[in-house]
Amino acid sequence: MELGCYIGQELTARTHHTGVVRKRLMPLYFSKIPTKLPTDNVILHENVNLGRLRGIEGNVGLALLRISKALNFGEFCVGNGVAKVKKTQLVAH
């Protein structure tokens, strides 16, 4: 069995055939802007790994999140800040 030709090819093929997307880049809106970011930008809430913070500017951030977990919690801590994820039209859940 040959491995894929490019990074992510297996994931892309599986997503195409099953239609299941588990992670997505999603906007974060901070009600309390963090002054200290989490270690390795990992977002944990109640000991559950939600994903990784990819960037932040002012009170808006962008994170690669596990869709179902992030939407279930609604509001969660990011470092010493508090963020809310907002469901966008791109999120099918």
Q: Where are the domains of the chain?
A: 21-85
Percentage of the chain exceeding pLDDT 70: 85
- Tokens found for residue 47: 């000991």
CA 74 – CA 22 distance, rounded (Å): 17
Tell if the pTM clears 0.75, that is, is over it. no
The amino acid present at 36, given as its one-letter code, is K
pLDDT value at residue 1: 52
Q: Which CATH number fits domain 21-85: 3.30.450, 1.10.12, 1.10.3470, 2.40.30?
A: 2.40.30
| 2 DSSP assignment | P
What tokens were used for 1? 């069995």
Quote the pLDDT of residue 90.
Answer: 61
Give the pLDDT of residue 51.
92
Average pLDDT over residues 76-84: 91
- Provide mean pLDDT across the span 14-40: 82
